[in-house]
Amino acid sequence: MAATITSGRAADETPTRRRVAFAVALAAWAIWKLGTAETVVWGAVAVGFVGFSIATGPAAATSIGSRIGAWVRAIGETGRAATIVAFVFFVSAVLVSLHVSTTTGISFACGGVLGTIAVVAVETGRSHFVTASD
């Protein structure tokens, strides 16, 4: 029985240990950041979580998501790092120009990180389940 694909990766493509370790480190950072912040905008956390979960999960399996995923894999690690840095600067500039509070931006970012981590966790669990049941 074929497993359902929830993202751009095939069901039998197991996430690497490096990817899982990075996800755990990011999750720890986001949880620490939310836990130690004086103020958290929980609505922004929720919007970030849901938005990033959809973008890295089901939306990644669409034709546009597949093309973006192929491009991201083609540019390599250095290209991905440069793209992430450029994206952060762009989003920061937009947030500053729209006068969005730093607290809201950080809350959204933490929610986004946790949403992405949730997708990694689901994919990791699913890949182990599919492998174990074959």
Instruction: Please give the C-alpha separations between residue 57 and each of 2, 35, 42, 71, in angstroms, as whole numbers.
Output: 18, 26, 22, 17
Asked whether residue 27 is domain-assigned, the answer is no
pLDDT mean over 5-24: 67
Asked whether residue 13 is domain-assigned, the answer is no
Asked whether residue 109 is domain-assigned, the answer is yes
Residue 58 structural domain: 41-133
Residue 21's pLDDT band (boundaries 50, 70, 90)? confident
Asked whether residue 67 is domain-assigned, the answer is yes
The total of structural domains in the chain comes to 1
Q: Is the pLDDT of residue 7 over 60?
A: no
Asked whether residue 14 is domain-assigned, the answer is no
Asked whether residue 29 is domain-assigned, the answer is no
pLDDT mean over 90-119: 93
Q: What is the pLDDT of residues 69-84, one digit of tens each?
A: 899 889 998 999 999 9
Asked whether residue 64 is domain-assigned, the answer is yes
Average pLDDT of the chain is 85
pTM equals 0.75
